[in-house]
Amino acid sequence: MLQRGALIADYGPGFQGQATLVDEGIVCVIPRQWERIEVRETMRDLVQSLGAECGGCQDCPLGRAG
């Protein structure tokens, strides 16, 4: 599955992220608090639920965070 990229957004402290399919690719909306381990885990779970592996996008801070 092609991953398109990530957008970092601030939708408040309760927002844990979103991943969605767009034109056969994944677009992630990552919360500003992406450094927190629970946020990274949530994002990885969202991406995996769509059939891909989180961390594959070169410019994504989640991939750089390990």
pTM metric for this prediction: 0.74
Task: Give the chain's count of helices (H) and strands (E).
Answer: 2, 3
- In degrees and rounded to multiples of 5, residue 3 shows phi and psi of -105, 130
Give the domain range for residue 61.
2-65
For 16-45, write each residue's pLDDT tens digit.
888 888 887 888 888 888 888 888 888 889
42 with 30: CB under 8 angstroms? no
Whole-number pLDDT of residue 5: 62
Write down the mean pLDDT value for the chain. Answer: 79
Q: How many domains, the chain? A: 1
Q: Above 60 in pLDDT, residue 46?
A: yes
Whole-number pLDDT of residue 2: 47
Q: Where are the alpha helices (DSSP H) in the chain?
A: 37-49, 61-65
7 with 34: CB under 8 angstroms? no
Whole-number pLDDT of residue 17: 86
